[in-house]
Amino acid sequence: MRITCPHCGARDAQEFTYLGAADLKRPDGMAATEAAMTDYVYQRENPAGTHRELWYHGAGCHAWLVVTRDTRNHAIAAVEAAKSRKTGAAA
Amino acid sequence: MSGQSFRLVSGGLVDRDRALNFSFDGKPYRGFAGDTLASALLANGVRLVGRSFKYHRPRGVLSAGPEEPNALVELRSGARREPNTRATVTELFDGLDAASQNRWPSLVFDLLSLNGLVSPALVAGFYYKTFMWPAAFWEKLYEPLIRRAAGLGRAAGLEDPDHYEKAFAFCDLLVIGGGPAGLAAALAAGRSGARVILCDEDFCLGGRLLAEKREIDGKPAAEWLAATLAELENLPEVRIMSRTTVFGLYDHGIYGAVERVGDHLPEPAPHQPRQRGWRIHARRAILAAGALERPIVFPGNDVPGVMLAGAARTYVNRYGVLPGRETVLFTAGDDGWATARDIAAAGGKVAAIVDARGEADPARKALADKLGARLFAGGVIEGTRGGRQLDGVTIRDASGATMALACDLLAVSNGWNPTLHLTSHQNGKAVWDEALQCFVPGTLPAGLAVAGSAAGHFTLGQALEDGARLGGEAAAEAGLKPAAAGPVPMTDPEATALQPIWRVKGAKGKAFVDYQNDVTDKDVELAAREGFRPVEHLKRYTTLGMATDQGKTSNLSGLAIMAEQTGKTIPQTGTTTFRPPYTPVAIGALAGHHRGKEFRPVRLAPTHDWSKEQGAVFVEAGQWLRAQYYPKPGENDWLTTVNREVQAVRAGVGLCDVSTLGKIDIQGADAAEFLERVYINGWKALPVGKARYGLMLREDGFVMDDGTTSRLGDSHFLMTTTTANAGKVMQHLEFCHQVLWPELDIRMVSVSEQWAQVAVAGPRARETLRAVVDPAHDISNEAFPYLAARAVTVGGGIPARLFRISFSGELAYELAVAADHGDAMMRALMRAGQPFGITPYGTEALGVMRIEKGHVAGNELNGQTTPRDLGLGKMMSAKKDYLGRLMAGRQALIEKDRPSFVGFRPVDPTQRLRAGAHFIGIGKADIMENDEGYMTSVAYSPHLNHWMGLGLIKGGAARIGERVRAYDPVRNGDIVVEICSPVFVDPEGARLHG
Amino acid sequence: MRYSAFSLLAQAFRGHKGWTPAWRDPEPKAEYDVIIIGGGGHGLATAHYLASRHDITNVAVLEKGYLGSGNVGRNTTIIRSNYLLPGNTPFYELSMKLWEGLEQDLNYNAMVSQRGVINLYHSDAQRDAFARRGNAMRLAGVDSELLGQEQVRAMLPYLDYDNARFPVQGGLLQRRGGSARHDAVAWGYARAADSRGVDMLQNCEVTGITMVGGRAVGVETSRGPIRAKKIAMAVAGNSGRVAAMAGLRLPIETHVLQAFVSEGLKPLIDTVVTFGAGHFYISQSDKGGLVFGGDIDGYNSYAQRGNLPVIEDVMESAMALWPGLGRVRMLRHWGGVMDMSMDGSPIIDTTPVDGLYLNSGWCYGGFKATPASGFCFAHLIATGEPHPVAAAYRLDRFATGRLIDEKGAGAQPNLH
B592/B104 Cα distance (integer angstroms):
35
Amino acid letter at B247?
Answer: F
Contact C52, C192 (CB under 8 A): yes
Express as a percent the part of chain B with pLDDT over 70.
Answer: 100
Per the DSSP assignment, residues forming a β-bridge with B256 are B248, B279
Amino acid letter at C382?
Answer: A
A14-49 residues labelled b (16+ CB within 10 A) or e (exposed): bbbbbbbbbbbebbeeeeeebeebbbbbbbbbbbbe
> In this model, does residue B984 exceed pLDDT 50?
yes
Q: What is the pLDDT of residues B930-947, one digit of tens each?
A: 999 999 999 999 999 999
Amino acid letter at A76?
Answer: I
Please enumerate residues of B whose Cβ is less than 8 A from a Cβ of A.
250-254, 279, 281, 426-427, 446, 699-700, 727, 730-731, 734-735, 737-740, 742, 880-881, 886-887, 889-890
Question: Checking phi first, is residue C170 left (phi over 0); if not, alpha (psi -120 to 50) or beta?
Answer: left
Question: To the nearest 10°, the Cα dihedral for B519, B521, B527, B530?
Answer: -140
In chain C, positions 345-384, which contact chain B (CB-CB < 8 Å)?
A: none
Q: Judge: B700–A54 Cβ closer than 8 Å, yes or no.
A: no
Tell me the helix, strand and coil percentages in chain B, rounded to 5. Answer: 25, 30, 45
Q: Judge: C241–A48 Cβ closer than 8 Å, yes or no.
A: yes
B672/B839 Cα distance (integer angstroms):
38
B732/B726 Cα distance (integer angstroms):
10
B239/B241 Cα distance (integer angstroms):
6
B692-706 residues labelled b (16+ CB within 10 A) or e (exposed): bebbbbbbbbbbbbb
Q: Judge: B881–A28 Cβ closer than 8 Å, yes or no.
A: yes
C342/C89 Cα distance (integer angstroms):
19
C320/A56 Cα distance (integer angstroms):
28
C299/C309 Cα distance (integer angstroms):
13
B643/B522 Cα distance (integer angstroms):
75
The residues near A43 (Cβ < 8 Å, ≥ 6 apart) are C249, C250, C251
Local structure of residue B555 (DSSP, 8 states): H
B803/B776 Cα distance (integer angstroms):
17
Of A12, A45, A72, Cβ closest to residue C303: A72
Q: What is the pLDDT of residues C64-105, one digit of tens each?
A: 999 999 899 999 999 999 999 999 999 999 999 999 999 999
| Alpha carbon of A19: minimum distance to chain C alpha carbons (Å) | 7
Q: CA gyration radius for chain A?
A: 14
> In this model, does residue B1 exceed pLDDT 70?
no
Contact B513, B554 (CB under 8 A): yes
Q: How far is CA B883 from CA B128, B165, B733, in A?
A: 54, 44, 11
The secondary structure element, H or E, covering residue C130 is helix C124-139
Residue of A nearest to C253 (CA): A46
Residue of A nearest to B425 (CA): A73
Average pLDDT, chain A: 94
Contact B960, B925 (CB under 8 A): no
A37 touches chain C (CB under 8 A): no
Of A14, A20, A73, Cβ closest to residue C253: A20
Give the residue among B915, B904, B918, B911 at the shortest CA–CA distance from B979: B904
Of B587, B699, B858, Cβ closest to residue C411: B699
Q: What is the pLDDT of residues A26-51, one digit of tens each?
A: 999 999 999 999 999 999 999 999 99
User: What is the pLDDT, as a whole number, of residue A88?
Assistant: 53
Per the DSSP assignment, residues forming a β-bridge with A62 are none
Of A12, A34, A76, Cβ closest to residue B890: A34
Beta strands in A6-82 (DSSP E): 9-12, 17-21, 50-56, 64-70, 76-81
In chain C, positions 369-408, which contact chain A (CB-CB < 8 Å)?
A: 398-399
Please, where are the H alpha helices in B530-662? 535-542, 555-566, 570-573, 587-591, 608-613, 638-651
Give the residue among C80, C111, C407 at the shortest CA–CA distance from C285: C111
Q: Judge: C138–B540 Cβ closer than 8 Å, yes or no.
A: no
> In this model, does residue A91 exceed pLDDT 50?
no
Phi, psi of B504 (to 5 degrees): -95, 120
Phi, psi of B2 (to 5 degrees): -70, 150
Q: What is the pLDDT of residues C105-120, one digit of tens each?
A: 999 999 999 999 999 9
| Alpha carbon of C237: minimum distance to chain A alpha carbons (Å) | 11
B594/B160 Cα distance (integer angstroms):
13
Please enumerate residues of A whose Cβ is less than 8 A from a Cβ of B.
1-2, 12, 17, 19, 22, 26, 28-30, 32-34, 37-38, 40-41, 54, 56, 58, 62-64, 73-76, 81-84, 90
Determine the residue among A46, A72, A74 to mutate to test chain C binding: the one whose Cβ has the most chain C Cβ atoms within 10 Å: A46
Phi, psi of B939 (to 5 degrees): -160, 160
Residue of C nearest to B537 (CA): C66
User: What is the pLDDT, as a whole number, of residue A87?
Assistant: 58
Contact B143, B254 (CB under 8 A): no
| Alpha carbon of A51: minimum distance to chain B alpha carbons (Å) | 16
Mean pLDDT of all residues in B364-381? 96
Looking at this predicted complex, what is its ipTM? 0.97
| Alpha carbon of A84: minimum distance to chain C alpha carbons (Å) | 23
Q: Which chains touch C (3 or more CB pairs under 8 A)?
A: A, B
Q: What is the pLDDT of residues B8-51, one digit of tens each?
A: 999 999 999 999 999 999 999 999 999 999 999 999 999 999 99
Residue of B nearest to A55 (CA): B735
Give the residue among B69, B74, B47 at the shortest CA–CA distance from B60: B47
B456/B98 Cα distance (integer angstroms):
36
The residues near B788 (Cβ < 8 Å, ≥ 6 apart) are B689, B690, B691, B802, B803, B804
| Alpha carbon of B696: minimum distance to chain A alpha carbons (Å) | 16
User: What is the pLDDT, as a whole number, of residue B145?
Assistant: 87
Q: What is the pLDDT of residues B288-329, one digit of tens each?
A: 999 999 999 999 999 999 999 999 999 999 999 999 999 999
Contact B707, B694 (CB under 8 A): yes
Beta strands in B54-111 (DSSP E): 58-59, 72-75, 82-86, 96-99
> In this model, does residue A90 exceed pLDDT 50?
no
Amino acid letter at B189?
Answer: A
User: What is the pLDDT, as a whole number, of residue A82?
Assistant: 97
Of A7-16, B99-108, C203-212, the range with the lowest mean pLDDT is B99-108
Determine the residue among B590, B725, B846, B940 to mutate to test chain C binding: the one whose Cβ has the most chain C Cβ atoms within 10 Å: B590
**DSSP annotation string for B244-278:** EEEEEEETTTEEEEEEESSTTSSSPPTT--SEEEE
How many Cβ atoms are within 10 Å of B499's Cβ, its own excluded?
Answer: 13
What long-range pairs does B389-395 form, CB within 8 A, spacing at least 24? B389/B47, B389/B48, B389/B58, B389/B60, B389/B303, B389/B304, B389/B305, B390/B47, B390/B303, B390/B304, B390/B305, B390/B306, B390/B324, B393/B328, B393/B330, B394/B507, B395/B328, B395/B352, B395/B354
| Alpha carbon of B281: minimum distance to chain A alpha carbons (Å) | 9
Q: Judge: A56–B886 Cβ closer than 8 Å, yes or no.
A: no
Mean pLDDT of all residues in C393-410? 97
Of C23, C202, C329, Cβ closest to residue B586: C329
> In this model, does residue A23 exceed pLDDT 60?
yes
Residue of C nearest to B425 (CA): C305
Mean pLDDT of all residues in B139-168? 91
B446 touches chain C (CB under 8 A): no
Tell me the helix, strand and coil percentages in chain C, rounded to 5. Answer: 30, 25, 40
C37/C24 Cα distance (integer angstroms):
18
> In this model, does residue B928 exceed pLDDT 50?
yes
Q: Judge: B160–C66 Cβ closer than 8 Å, yes or no.
A: no
Q: What is the pLDDT of residues B776-834, one digit of tens each?
A: 999 999 999 999 999 999 999 999 999 999 999 999 999 999 999 999 999 999 999 99
The secondary structure element, H or E, covering residue B708 is strand B703-713
Of C240, C251, C414, Cβ closest to residue A42: C251
Amino acid letter at B267?
Answer: E
Question: To the nearest 10°, the Cα dihedral for C342, C346, C349, C354?
Answer: 60
Q: Judge: C302–A14 Cβ closer than 8 Å, yes or no.
A: no
Give the residue among B311, B332, B362 at the shortest CA–CA distance from B496: B332
First-residue to last-residue Cα distance in chain C: 43
Q: What is the pLDDT of residues C342-364, one digit of tens each?
A: 999 999 999 999 999 999 999 99
Local structure of residue C33 (DSSP, 8 states): E
Chain C residues whose CB is inside 8 A of the B915 CB are: 128, 131-132
Span A2-84: which CATH code? 3.30.2270.10
Question: To the nearest 10°, the Cα dihedral for B891, B895, B899, B904?
Answer: 150
First-residue to last-residue Cα distance in chain A: 26
- Three-state SS for B140-209 is HHHHHHHHHHCCCECCCCCCCCCCEEEEEEEEEEEEECCCHHHHHHHHHHHHCCCCEEEECCCCCCCHHH
User: What is the pLDDT, as a whole number, of residue B742?
Assistant: 96
Of C303, C319, C409, Cβ closest to residue B427: C303
How many Cβ atoms are within 10 Å of B300's Cβ, its own excluded?
Answer: 23
Question: Checking phi first, is residue B187 left (phi over 0); if not, alpha (psi -120 to 50) or beta?
Answer: alpha
| Alpha carbon of A43: minimum distance to chain C alpha carbons (Å) | 4
Of A34, A56, A76, Cβ closest to residue B734: A56
C301 touches chain A (CB under 8 A): yes
CA B459 to chain centroid? 38
Domain range annotation of chain A: 2-84
Q: Which chains touch B (3 or more CB pairs under 8 A)?
A: A, C
Q: What is the pLDDT of residues C279-318, one digit of tens each?
A: 999 999 999 999 999 999 999 999 999 999 999 999 999 9
Give the residue among B909, B907, B919, B902 at the shortest CA–CA distance from B984: B902
C103 touches chain B (CB under 8 A): yes
User: What is the pLDDT, as a whole number, of residue B506?
Assistant: 85
Residue of B nearest to A26 (CA): B740
Q: CA gyration radius for chain B?
A: 38
How many Cβ atoms are within 10 Å of B944's Cβ, its own excluded?
Answer: 13
C41/C45 Cα distance (integer angstroms):
6
> In this model, does residue C338 exceed pLDDT 70?
yes
Q: For residues C13 and B616, which has the higher predicted lDDT (pLDDT)?
A: B616
